[in-house]
Structure 1
Amino acid sequence: MAKKKMNAFYAQSGGVTAVINATACGVIQTARANKDKMGKVYAGRNGIIGALTEDLIDTGKESAAAIAALRYTPSGAFGSCRYKLKSLEANRREYERLIEVFRAHDIGYFFYNGGGDSADTCFKVSQLSESMGYPIQAIHVPKTVDNDLPITDCCPGFGSVAKYVAVSALEASFDVRSMALTSTKVFVLEVMGRHAGWIAAAGGLIEEHGIPVVVLFPEVAFDEAKFLARVDALVKKHGYCTVVVSEGAHHADGTFLAEQGTKDAFGHAQLGGAAPVVANMIKKGLGYKFHWAVADYLQRAARHIASKTDVKQAYELGAAAVKMALKGHNAVMPTIDRTSDAPYRYKIGMAPLAKVANVEKFMPRDFITADGFGITAKCKRYLMPLIQGEDSPTYKNGMPVYATLKNVAVAKKLPAFDLK
């Protein structure tokens, strides 16, 4: 008797990126190419919440053209969420509910596309499902603009954010340079990065274009006196300078420059406002005129300037996740394994989730200059391949053509579940 084909569940988690839908495209297209081995692909509406509430989307109702268009569409096509499942001990009912939904819909493959928290969820599901007598092959698909997942050389989403930040900082610096004689002396750009300074590091690439730049990393405790002295020296030498500050920049005691005293859904300190803090510090301490900006959602939604390398890797990791599942792998994550900087080469590897979940990758100290305000040649060799190439969407009437899916719901089979 032929083995029953199992369906797959795919969900997007956390902050979305310019290329997370390219990963979804890779997952769905690869599953469709292996329809003799894998059944339907259901997506969770609004991430893992869709699984808990049995709010599933039948991706089989979408045309091949619509799925292909995901490769060029930013944000999360099925909806994402910031919903952290508690530990098995604290809330076993949520994990058991996931297994119940998977069982009800003949789901044997779980593809969770996200960062560190989703890697942890994926790992726990793989462990619990076995003990409940309904084994699930749980594959974590990496995604995070913060680039802070371990083992993999880089994370899909990061290359495009790095490209956006580098280009935006360069263009704004040209503006400041042209006005420096009679107006603005300092431009401050705030970028994402709670604990790791990878995105801020990308701003340091403008130094290659002769721009005087100061970068503030979470990995280096902020020293106001040293910072102001550095800014003052650059302005006196060049007439202006640009500051790129990570949202996670903090004082020696660990207090964030941008801390608001509130928490997000994952229990992390709510950040936002490092740029005005730094800008006002410059005004008060040095008297220079300034402008500041917060890249915020713009940096992670900018599909029009996405890195071709990033789009390609995002798709490949989605496809690799399906292939790994079909080969019987479980509790793993496909990775980017760099083999050469120049020419840039890499291969797709695989990491056990036990070594990925709840582990953050920070900027190596030898990627940051001795004074703590810039990036080294080694860091530049790391970053440059990741921002290479353009993979622009099609334009119509001056605007990019992005996909909006039908997202047809799958009929529910279970009683409602209360999210507590």
Structure 2
Amino acid sequence: MSSGTLLYAQSGGVTAVINATASAVIQTARAHKIKVLAARNGILGALREDLIDTSKEPIAAIRALTHTPGGAFGSCRFKLKSLDEDRAKYERLLDVLRAHDVRWFLYNGGNDSADTALKMSKLATEFDYPLACIGVPKTIDNDLALTDCSPGFGSAAKYTAVSVREAALDVAAMADTSTKVFVYEAMGRHAGWLAASAGLAGHGPDEAPHLILFPERPFDEADFFARVKAVVERVGYCVVVASEGIQTADGSFVADAGGGVDSFGHSQLGGVASHLAGRVQHVLGYKVHWALPDYLQRSARHLASKTDLEHAQAVGKAAVEFALAGMNSVMPVIVRTSDAPYRWKIEAAPLSKIANREKKLPAGFLRRDGYSITEKARTYLEPLIRGEAPPPYGNDGLPKYVTLKNVPVARKLERWSEE
């Protein structure tokens, strides 16, 4: 049996399959007789020394995480600054890790989380503390560098494509006497991967979505109105998918909610669909409906992609294996080896080349006019939403999800002051 414990933490917005990654981490560590602690509510739990003993959970509960959405141990949006600016916090984290003999730290999140894991690795080296820091990929935005895709994206993409196709059938049925334009808002601040996935819902210019608005292209309202009008006159109705992060040519967010910034320094966005709906109705006079799926995009485990689930489990298993093999400051990433048939493998990539980098839609994925996706994008996206992995259902007709006991570990240090 190896000496030491493994600490796992979840970061940022959760996904439909992040718990599947957690399940794989715990099961793989148990197979190696390694005890796993989980930080309650992400990195804040580590700072507060609010740790969970996963060994108190029966194996059936750990396996049930595979089909349970949300974040079983809690997550948070809490950005640590540079080692110099937030040194006291980093040293507190190191003190907590030392106190609980943590030798392997797995941080499951996106770009900022990769950066935190990298900084923790550097600090541990500075203090000569033996610690392997592994970033574990997760984000529905699909904007992580080096990995072909991010676990969590495939399921959110499937939900988006299915929702747009189903809503389009509804609009088509009512268009003669009712709704002419439907606007669907997709998550995506700077990268339009989820908006692009909506393009899988149809084929050809007359099938929904008729127009997709990407953050990678400046939003031109006059041109948008002209295209909506042309589609309605040709098809009878128009389905629009808009990324929440679309901007005008001067760089202003169309949907800046005016609510300041979050803990990561990001503008609070929201309401691009309602804004566009109001403008279309005012300028063109069409009856418009809109939808803001918001958290539904990332929590819809009932509609998860089987491919995505397999990705999520694979990176969790590999993260433990990489850590136990002595790797440090790396992330298990997905490498596509074939489009048809779709094949992939897991490799280790350095956190230094992932942290705080953003993967946007390639220019070749956007149609020349900027309002839809190309066949190249379809080739990339389609395998990621393939396959079904439904959760088990109970007699009440609802999915059977698990809630863990999350038994706390006794504190060994003084309480951390959050001031």
**TM-score category (smaller protein):** over 0.9
State the distance in 1 between where 2:113 and 2:418 align.
Answer: 18
Q: 2:229 aligns with which of 229, 232, 236?
A: 232
C-alpha separation in 1, matches of 2:136 and 2:203? 33
Counterpart-to-counterpart distance in 1, 2:261 and 2:283: 31
- SS of the residue corresponding to residue 370 of structure 1 reads coil
**8 A contact 2:209–2:241 mirrored in 1:** no
Paired residue type of 1:404: T
Give the alignment of 1:261-410 within 5 angstroms. 261=258, 262-396=260-394, 397-410=396-409
The partner residue of 1:156 within 134, 151, 156 is 151
Return closer, same or farther for 1:4/1:185 CA change in 2, 3 Å cut-off. Answer: closer
Match of 2:200 in 1: 205
Tell me, yes or no, if the aligned pair for 1:212 and 1:234 is still in contact at 8 Å.
no
Structure 1 stretch 256-265 or stretch 344-353: which is displaced more? 256-265
1:258 correspondence with 2:225 = no
Q: Secondary structure at the match of 2:290?
A: strand
Residues 218 and 246 in structure 2, CA contact (< 8 A), matched pair in contact too = yes
TM-score (norm 1): 0.98
State the distance in 1 between where 2:191 and 2:363 align.
Answer: 12
Report SS of the residue matched to 1:41.
strand
Identity score, percent: 60
Does the aligned pair in 2 maintain the 1:212–1:238 contact within 8 Å? no
Give, as a single letter, the amino acid of the residue that structure 1 aligns with 2:98: R
User: Which residue of 2 is the match for residue 245 of structure 1?
Assistant: 242
Match of 1:72 among 57, 63, 67: 67
Given that residues 212 and 240 in structure 1 are in contact (C-alpha distance below 8 angstroms), is that contact kept between their aligned partners in structure 2? no
Cα RMSD, aligned residues only: 1.0
Q: CA 1:291 to 1:46, structure 2 compared with 1: closer, same or farther past 3 Å?
A: same
Asked whether the equivalents of residues 164 and 208 of structure 2 are also in contact (C-alpha less than 8 Å), the reply is: no
2:182 corresponds to 1:187: yes
Q: Is the 8 A contact 2:199 2:209 kept in 1?
A: no
Structure 2 CA distance for aligned equivalents of residues 337 and 285 of structure 1? 47
Q: 1:24 aligned to 22, 25, 28, which one?
A: 22
Structure 1: which 5+ residue stretches go unaligned? none
Q: Structure 1 residue 52 and structure 2 residue 47: aligned?
A: yes
Tell me the residue number matched to 2:417: 418
Tell me which amino acid in the other structure corresponds to 1:419: E
- Residue 212 of structure 1: CA displacement? 4.9
Write the distance in 1 (CA, Å) between the matches of 2:200 and 2:346.
Answer: 27
Deviation of residue 207 (structure 1)?
2.2
Once residues 242 and 263 of structure 1 are traced to their aligned partners in structure 2, the CA distance between those partners, rounded to angstroms, is 31
The equivalent of 1:214 in structure 2 is 211
Supply the distance in 2 between the matched residues of 1:87 and 1:162 (Cα, whole angstroms).
33
Q: For residue 118 of structure 2, what is the aligned residue in structure 1?
A: 123
AA aligned to 1:79 is G
For this pair of structures, how many residues does the alignment match?
415
| Secondary structure of the structure 1 residue equivalent to 2:255 | coil
Deviations 1:211-255 (A, max 9, x none): 352100010010111111111111110000110000101111111
Which residue type is aligned with residue 246 of structure 2?
A
Q: Which amino acid aligns with 1:184?
A: T
What is the match of residue 168 of structure 1? Answer: 163
- Does the 8 Å CA contact 1:126/1:135 hold for their aligned counterparts? no
CA distance in 2, matches of 1:237, 1:326: 60
In structure 2, how many angstroms separate the alpha carbons of the residues matched to 1:150 and 1:295? 26
Counterpart Cα distance in 2 of 1:290 and 1:330? 52
Structure 1 position 4, deviation (Å): 5.7
What runs of 5+ residues in structure 2 fail to find an aligned partner?
Answer: none
1:358-401 C-alpha deviation (Å, 9 max, x unpaired): 10000001100011100000000000000001100000010000
**Equivalent AA in structure 1 for residue 178 of structure 2:** S
**1:25·1:70 contact (CA, 8 Å) conserved in 2?**
yes
